[in-house]
Amino acid sequence: MAIPRFWREIRQRYKGIGVECKNCGEIYFPPRDICPECRRESYKKMEDYELKGTGEVVTYTKVHEPHPEFKDLSPYVMAIIEMDEGVRLTGHLVDVDYEQVERGMKVEASMRKLGEESPEGLIYYGYKFWPLDTHGKD
Ligand SMILES: [Zn+2]
């Protein structure tokens, strides 16, 4: 049985797999079929590219409203992260106090399951980021 495209995309997205345009070298995440720069030239030249998983804080905000899935964590910090490849992700910044967060701070990303609608239904995933220097070097 073929895996529905939707699920394939979900899995790619949360494993950090994008595509690289072999024509111009641009990285896209989530993946796309055609490079908007090269258009026709990129046809069949889009190859899987796994993000390295590191980036830096572009902007961030403190969220006081407890999200049902994050109720233990409120308030928490949401941030927009620019990955080393230039793509931007939004996620939950952990292991750091809001006062310590700053733009340009180096962070590492991971995916986590946030919740499940039903055994066969929707599974929510999200990005979690933590500061590179506090996470240990192992
Ligand atoms: Zn291109």
Cβ pair 21, 42 in contact under 8 A: yes
User: 6: which DSSP letter?
Assistant: H
Residue ranges near ligand 1 (ion) with Cβ within 5 Å:
21, 23-24, 26, 35, 37-38, 42
How many angstroms is it from 14 CA to the middle of ligand 1? Answer: 23
pTM for the full predicted model: 0.73
Beta strands in 24-119 (DSSP E): 27-28, 46-50, 54-63, 76-83, 88-93, 106-116
pLDDT, one tens digit per residue, over 4-57 is 666 666 666 667 888 999 999 999 988 899 999 999 999 999 999 988 889 999
How many angstroms is it from 91 CA to the middle of ligand 1? Answer: 27
d(CA 54, CA 123): 24
Q: How far is CA 51 from CA 29, 68, 71, 130, in A?
A: 9, 29, 30, 16
How many angstroms is it from 18 CA to the middle of ligand 1? Answer: 13
How many angstroms is it from 26 CA to the middle of ligand 1? Answer: 6
Element (H, E) at 17: strand 17-21
